[in-house]
Amino acid sequence: MEQLETDADEALHEHILRTAQLGRQRHAPFSTLERLQPLLADRNVVRYPVEVVFDADPLQADEFACAELIGKTIAEGFRLSVHPHYEGHASALPILIAYHIPSINYGPIVTAEHAEAFGSTLLGMDAEEYYQRVCALADGIGS
């Protein structure tokens, strides 16, 4: 059973990487929220509709963003609430939004490692650099 779980995780990881590569190939560069809109509308990359809003109300104390279902079914899409601190930080938005795309696509089976792999691949960054940028941005909410 352990091998099956390992194989399934590897298959998911590879699929996440292929999806990020496709998104990068079709829609890069991602410098602003406006440049992300075609990516978010591409159902081969982001499986469900996503509306990005700047709203801290649904966020937990340690969150920079969270995705919530808009309606009763997944097909109705998601509202991705991003902390209002980032509304004027155009270059931060692709980093923060990319982190949440895997959980929108695949649900609760997604790990932080999956999110980081997707984000770094989509944005063409080294995985460690992407991780450090996410952490720095998340830490910046309080400052």
> pLDDT averaged over the chain?
93
pLDDT surpasses 70 at 107 = yes
Tokens matching residue 8: 């399934």
With a pLDDT cut of 70, the percent of the chain lying above it is 96
CB 63 within 8 A of CB 44: no
What is the pLDDT, as a whole number, of residue 104?
98
Strands 78-82 and 50-54 come out as parallel
Whole-angstrom Cα distance, residue 126 to residue 70? 33
Cross-strand partners of 78: 50, 69
Give residue 87's pLDDT band: very low, low, confident or very high (50, 70, 90): very high
pLDDT tens digits, 13-57: 999 999 999 999 999 999 888 999 999 999 999 999 999 999 999
What are the structure tokens assigned to 126, written together?
A: 């080294």
Q: Residue 70: is its pLDDT beyond 60?
A: yes
Instruction: Tokens for 60, please give them.
Output: 């937990």
Tokens of 97: 């939004």
Assign 72 to helix, strand or coil.
Answer: coil
- In this predicted structure, the answer to whether residue 143 has a pLDDT above a threshold of 70 is no
Sheet holding 50-54, edge to edge: 50-54, 78-82, 65-69
CA distance 128 to 116: 9
